Amino acid sequence: MAVYTEVSDEDLSAFVAQYDLGAVLSCKGIAEGVENSNFLLVTERGPYILTLYEKRTKREDLPFFLGLMEHLAVKGVASPLPVAGRDGVALRELCGRPAVIVTFLAGMWPRRVQPMHCAQLGEALARLHLAVADFTMTRPNALSLKGWHELFAKSADRADEVAVGLRDTLRAELDALEAHWPTDLPTGVIHADLFPDNVFFRGETLSGLIDFYFACNDFLAYDVAICINAWCFEIDGSFNATKARLLLANYRKVRPLSRAELDALPWLCRGSATRFLLTRLYDWLNRPPGAFVQPKDPVEYLRKLRFHQSTRSLRDYFIDDEDGTASAADPA
Amino acid sequence: MAVYTEVSDEDLSAFVAQYDLGAVLSCKGIAEGVENSNFLLVTERGPYILTLYEKRTKREDLPFFLGLMEHLAVKGVASPLPVAGRDGVALRELCGRPAVIVTFLAGMWPRRVQPMHCAQLGEALARLHLAVADFTMTRPNALSLKGWHELFAKSADRADEVAVGLRDTLRAELDALEAHWPTDLPTGVIHADLFPDNVFFRGETLSGLIDFYFACNDFLAYDVAICINAWCFEIDGSFNATKARLLLANYRKVRPLSRAELDALPWLCRGSATRFLLTRLYDWLNRPPGAFVQPKDPVEYLRKLRFHQSTRSLRDYFIDDEDGTASAADPA
């Protein structure tokens, strides 16, 4: 949960007056989004989401994020659409921060992930990857191998405060990832943060994707690996192969995965687990005293990393390796 | 801000299915209400507020609170109305907690209190006091003199951690309040917590009152004193006599204050300052480590108490003492 910036009623009314949205009826800070301040804004035209970008979102990245959301809307991917003011401009300023109003997306994110959620997620993720194929803006992934090394350097000295041996584990893992990270898989714009709280369902039907503020260019299959980590483990740390199978099978119905992508998945899963372990470790070690936001537990991702370290191929995930050929990858 | 209970989509859908509200479109935890979990629930019928009562709200008090809200709606006081399910019942259970859906009240609470807000507050408070004259349920004020002594006993040993000398200040103040607390002023149901975040405005017009979960029977003028403390001091601690004059004058246009009530106001202000100082002190000393909610600053109310201790009559508040008679009260 996060509402960092308090917006006064006067400032808000002046801001909304720049749009064709009628008068403000209500504006309530909502417990969604960890990086930015989000408000459910109700105007005479209906509900909208108002986002104020806090310092962790870089201003220079905003045209990419907003352009991506507009592109997705044109392509029919259900996601929030930035609303332009009467002057045609969507990105403005409010309380000294970049601010945007986006359309309201009906639905709730699943608190208890069921296999059917993973099935629909797989299809939606593949459709997202197809939809961005002709999006021309690019943004490098700052949280790939190079960024992981930088994050590790900032946290290494205190890593063992979170788990004994974590520093050595991470150093060895980064070396292994450096040696095995794929180089020539299909790339494109990925969501890069498609956790359950960023996927809305109406009843049992996926109704849209939100929060594109980590989107960047990287291997499309890396997005799949992020989802496997985020959606296919139980709270007790166990891997749910049914969920992973459904996720992958429904993804592949829309966008087939190549032999190279399938073989790379175990390493992509290790890399994804390392990425979230590193950011959570950093946030954990650097949480401000008295912070409103409880940092996420790094150890959850250490467990996931250890699981992936124990696999040697897709078959170890109990995932049907459809081609029938033995895996060429040997991530151990 | 406070969202304590996480409601799963399945539980919520089953809950809302008991009402004639159509399907759930969205449900977002909102950063409002310190005591309970509040959600902005959007159904096919529009927006509502879903409240789950956390442990600080006693179950046995809920019929009083809900009955009061229903009474106010009948009387035309703009405030949230509990929505009954198809079985006619408004108070249900969700996630093991008492839960209620209330109507959505348009408006925003004023982040920067202006004199015109205080003028409208005065009138609305008086109308509230008239509207409850024939409400038959009662609830004693647990946070009056006796309750203050109990709270002080729980915090006295550590009071000086917050401000040097606070323990002695509080002990002396409780003795003084005990000696001077009025006994025969007009009583009725008071809101008892009418801070700016519980009063909504649409533009410059007061649109309603919320959060009746401290309502109880006490002196009506004590509610006025609570509002003077909550609305008529600036952030730097200074007393804004213009705001207080407007608050009182507009209150008195709707419900005249008796000589005895006017004379008692300085003591009622001291009592109100002591009440919020004591609860804030307790919450400050007993905040759980890593809590999401930043406790409110007790020292703000210590400053207000000291201001009231320095007054001897309404005239010291620069408030026109309309009757022209000298004040009989001598709170020094």
Q: Is the pLDDT of residue B155 over 60?
A: yes
| A70: Cα separation from own chain's centroid | 18
Q: Is residue B114 a contact partner of residue A12, using CB atoms and an 8 Å limit?
A: no
Which residues in chain B are closer than 8 Å to A105, comparing Cβ atoms?
26
Structure tokens at A254: 């829309």
Question: Measured between beta carbons, which residues in chain B are less than 8 angstroms from residue A294?
Answer: 290, 292
Adjacency order of strands within the sheet including B24-29: B24-29, B37-43, B46-52, B97-103, B92-94
Q: Where are the alpha helices (DSSP H) in A165-258?
A: 166-180, 220-231, 241-254
Contact partners, residue A46, CB within 8 Å, separation at least 6: A104
CB contact under 8 A, A8 and B201: no
Distance of alpha carbon B284 from alpha carbon B151, whole angstroms? 13
Q: By the CB < 8 Å criterion, does B50 face chain A?
A: no
Interface test with A, best of B16, B27, B30 (most A CBs within 10 A): B30
Domain with CATH 3.90.1200.10 in chain A: 115-317
Contact with chain B for residue A107, Cβ under 8 A: yes
Find the closest chain B residue to A197 by CA distance. B28
Residue of A nearest to B27 (CA): A108
For A48, phi then psi, to 5°, come to -140, 170
Q: Per the CB < 8 Å rule, is B294 touching A293?
A: no
Rounded CA separation A132/A72 (Å): 7
Question: Which residue's structure tokens are 């209330």?
Answer: B102
Rounded to whole angstroms, the maximal C-alpha distance in chain B is 65
User: What pLDDT score does B331 carry?
Assistant: 43
Task: In whole angstroms, give the CA distance from residue B63 to residue B67.
Answer: 6
Cα separation, B160 vs A124, whole angstroms: 58
Residues of chain B contacting residue A8, judged by C-beta atoms under 8 Å apart: 111-112
Percent of chain B exceeding pLDDT 90 equals 82
CA B48, B51, B56 angle in degrees (round to 5)? 160
Residue ranges, chain A, pLDDT below 70: 1-4, 33-34, 289-294, 320-332
**Closest among A52, A131, A50 to A97, alpha carbons compared:** A52
Considering only the beta carbons, identify the residue of B31, B111, B201 that sits closest to A28: B31
| Chain B residues whose beta carbon lies within 8 Å of the beta carbon of residue A32 | 28-29
| pLDDT at residue A312, as a whole number | 80
Q: What is the pLDDT of residue B54?
A: 87
- Select from A27, A203, A290 the Cβ nearest to the Cβ of B108: A27
Interface touch B23/A203, C-beta < 8 Å: yes
Q: Work out the minimum CA distance from A92 to partner chain B, whole angstroms.
A: 22
CATH topology of domain B9-103: Phosphorylase Kinase; domain 1 (3.30.200)
- Other Cβ atoms less than 10 A from the Cβ of A95: the count is 14
Distance CA A191, CA A214 (A): 6
Residues whose CB falls within 8 Å of the CB of residue B251, separated by 6 or more in sequence, listed in order: B122, B123, B125, B126, B224, B257
Q: Do A30 and B26 touch (CB under 8 A)?
A: no
The minimal CB distance from A30 to the residues B12, B29, B47 is found for B29
What does B73-90 look like in DSSP terms, one character per residue? HHTT-----BPP-TTS--
Contact between residue A64 and residue A137 where contact means Cβ atoms under 8 Å apart: yes
Compute the distance between CA of residue B55 and CA of residue B48 in angstroms, rounded to an integer. Answer: 22
Which among A28, A29, A294 has the least Cβ separation from residue B292? A294
* Residues on chain A touching B49 (C-beta within 8 angstroms): none
Best residue in B24, B25, B49 for a mutation probing chain A (most A CBs within 10 Å): B25
Looking at CATH, the fold of the domain delimited by B115-317 is given as Aminoglycoside 3'-phosphotransferase; Chain: A, domain 2 (3.90.1200)
- In total, the C-beta contacts within 8 angstroms joining chain A to chain B are 97
Q: What angle do CA A50, A56, A61 make, to 5 degrees?
A: 75
Contact A104 B26 (CB under 8 A): yes
Asked if B32 reaches chain A (Cβ–Cβ under 8 Å), the answer is yes
pLDDT digits 0-9 by tens, B156-183: 999 999 999 999 999 999 999 999 999 9
- B28 → closest Cβ in A12, A31, A293: A31
C-alpha dist (Å) from residue B191 to A126, B83, B216: 54, 21, 7
- Answer yes or no: do B26 and A107 touch at CB < 8 A: yes
**DSSP H helical ranges for chain A:** 9-16, 62-74, 115-131, 145-155, 166-180, 220-231, 241-254, 259-285, 298-309
Token pair recorded at residue A288: 């401000």
d(CA B214, CA B229): 16
> What letter represents residue B287's amino acid?
R
pLDDT score, position A192: 97
Contact: A25, B290; criterion CB under 8 Å? no
Q: Is A315 helix (H, G, I), strand (E, B) or coil?
A: helix
Cβ neighbours around A106 below 10 Å, total: 17
> Is the CB of residue B218 less than 8 Å from the CB of residue B146?
no
Contact state of B112 with A10 under an 8 Å Cβ cutoff = yes
Q: pLDDT tens digit string along B243-270? A: 999 999 999 999 999 999 999 999 999 9
Other C-beta atoms lying within 10 Å of the C-beta of residue B98: 18
CA-closest candidate to residue B80, choices B118, B55, B47, B35: B47
Alpha carbon of B223: minimum distance to chain A alpha carbons (Å)? 25
Q: Would you state the pLDDT for residue B293?
A: 60
Contact residues for B311 (Cβ-Cβ < 8 A; gap 6+): B266, B269, B317, B331, B332
Least confident of A17-21, A317-321, B19-23, B120-124: A317-321
With contacts defined as CB-CB under 8 Å, which chain B residues touch A23? 202-203
Q: What is the location of CATH 3.30.200.20 in chain A?
A: 9-103
**Alpha carbon of A178: minimum distance to chain B alpha carbons (Å):** 37
Mean pLDDT score, B291-317? 85
Determine contact: B289 vs chain A, CB below 8 A. no
| Predicted pLDDT of residue A288 | 72
Which residue in B has a C-alpha nearest to residue A37's C-alpha? B31
Q: How far A292 CA lies from chain B's nearest CA (Å)? A: 5
Is residue B294's pLDDT more than 80? no
Are residues A266 and A239 in contact, defined by beta-carbon separation less than 8 angstroms?
A: no
How many whole angstroms separate alpha carbon B162 and alpha carbon B158? 8
Q: What is the model's pLDDT at position A319?
A: 73
Q: What is the mean pLDDT of chain B?
A: 91
Q: Which residues of B touch A12 (CB under 8 A)?
A: 108
Q: Do B31 and A26 touch (CB under 8 A)?
A: no
Contact B28 A40 (CB under 8 A): yes
Q: Establish if B332 touches chain A: CB-CB under 8 angstroms.
A: no
What is the rounded distance in angstroms from the CA atom of residue A104 to the CA atom of residue A107?
A: 9
Six-digit token string for A243? 């969920």
Q: What is the pLDDT of residue B96?
A: 92
Nearest to B110 among A9, A108, A112 (CB): A9
Nearest by CB to B8, from A12, A13, A112: name it. A112
By the CB < 8 Å criterion, does B4 face chain A?
no
Residue B289 confidence (pLDDT): 65
Please report the pLDDT score of residue B311 as a whole number: 87
Smallest CA–CA distance from A11 into chain B, residue: B111
Beta carbons of B292 and A293 less than 8 Å apart: yes
Average pLDDT of the residues in B141-163: 95
Q: Are A133 and A217 in contact (CB under 8 A)?
A: no
Is the pLDDT reported for residue B330 higher than 50?
Answer: no
Q: Do A1 and B31 touch (CB under 8 A)?
A: yes
Reference B189, options B72, B34, B276, B33; nearest CA is B72
